[in-house]
Structure 1
Amino acid sequence: MHMATKTEIIAVGSELLLGQIVNSNAQFISQQLAENGINVYYHTVVGDNPGRLKQAVKTAQERSNIIVFTGGLGPTKDDLTKETIASLLGRKLTTDEEALRSIEDYFVNVNRPMSENNKKQALVIEGSDILKNEHGMAPGMAIQTDGITYMLLPGPPSEMKPMFLKYGLPFFRKALGRNDKIISRVLRYFGIGESQLETDIQDLIDGQSNPTIAPLAGDGEVTLRLTARHQTEAEAVKLINDAEKAINERVGAFFYGYDQTTLAEELLRHLRQRGMTISAAESLTGGLFSDQLTAVKGTSDVFKGTIVCYTNEVKEAMLGVSKKTLEEHGAVSGQCALEMAEQIRKLTGSDIGISFTGIAGEEPVEGKKPGTVYIGLAVKGRQTETHQLLLAGSRNGIRKRTVKYGCHLAVKALTENTAE
Structure 2
Amino acid sequence: MVKLIHTLADHGDDVNCCAFSFSLLATCSLDKTIRLYSLHDFTELPHSPLKFHTYAVHCCCFSPSGHILASCSTDGTTVLWNTENGQMLAVMEQPSGSPVRVCQFSPDSRCLTSGAADGTVVLWNAQSYKLYRCGSVKDGSLAACAFSPNGSFFVTGSSCGDLTVWDDKMRCLHSEKAHDLGITCCDFSSQPVSDGEQGLQFFRLASCGQDCQVKIWIVSFTHILGFELKYKSAMSGHCAPVLACAFSHDGQMLVSGSVDKSVIVYDTNTESILHTLTQHTRYVTTCAFAPNTLLLATGSMDKTVNIWQFDLETLCQARSTEDQLKQFTEDWSEEDVSTWLCAQDLKDLVGIFKMNNIDGKELLNLTKESLADDLKIDSLGLRSKVLRKIEELRTKVKSLSSGIPDEFICPITRELMKDPVIASGMCDAILSCRGCFVLNE
Q: Where is the strand percentage greater, Structure 1 or Structure 2?
A: 2
TM-score > 0.5, shorter chain as reference: no
- Which structure has the bigger radius of gyration? 1
- TM-score between the two structures when normalised by the length of structure 2: 0.23
Q: Where is the helix percentage greater, Structure 1 or Structure 2?
A: 1
